[in-house]
Amino acid sequence: MVRVEHVLDSWKTIRQDTAAAVEEFPAGDLDYRPTPELMTFREIARHILDASDGLTGLLLAGDDNFAAPDFRERLKRHMRSLGAGAGAPELAAALRKSVEERTAQLAAQPAEFFSHIITRPDGQKVTRLEMVQVIKEHELTHRAQLFMYLRLKGLVPATTRRRLAKQAGK
């Protein structure tokens, strides 16, 4: 059995490393993209913020059909107002604030809330807890992109630095 507390705590840890990546990326290079068809670093970070706010907002509002034609419009109602050109400090702060607010709101829900079946955007039926897990996995995917961009700039992501520090301490 997957525990709600574990999912929420691990998401908070993931988000801290996402926010750290935003803070550590060269401020003047937030619009960097390795190739023209890829999102910029800033766009990826903003996508993480918007998707997690929108999707959790829909869950908390009791929405159970994410496959409806007006899904994207309903999603936008739950996104934070943050300028498209927000700098690293504002974006990192919004990422941290978002996960703290959303995980607290989710943690306050009764157990039955998480077992309710919803329809994902792709039509698949999942529980709300499984959808929270999907949101977390979505962030992990895009966080990996942020980490790759860091590497392309010669920077080492926080997760690798921690692992190397732990190995050095053995």
* pLDDT, mean of each 10-residue run, the chain (170 residues): 92 97 95 96 97 98 95 94 91 98 98 97 97 97 97 93 86
The matching CATH number, chosen from 1.10.1740.10, 1.10.3720.10, 1.20.120.450, 1.20.1080.10, for 4-168 is: 1.20.120.450
Q: What is the DSSP string of 42-54?
A: HHHHHHHHHHHHH
CB atoms within 10 A of CB 66: 21
- Tell me which amino acid residue 124 is: Q
The per-residue pLDDT for 68 is 94
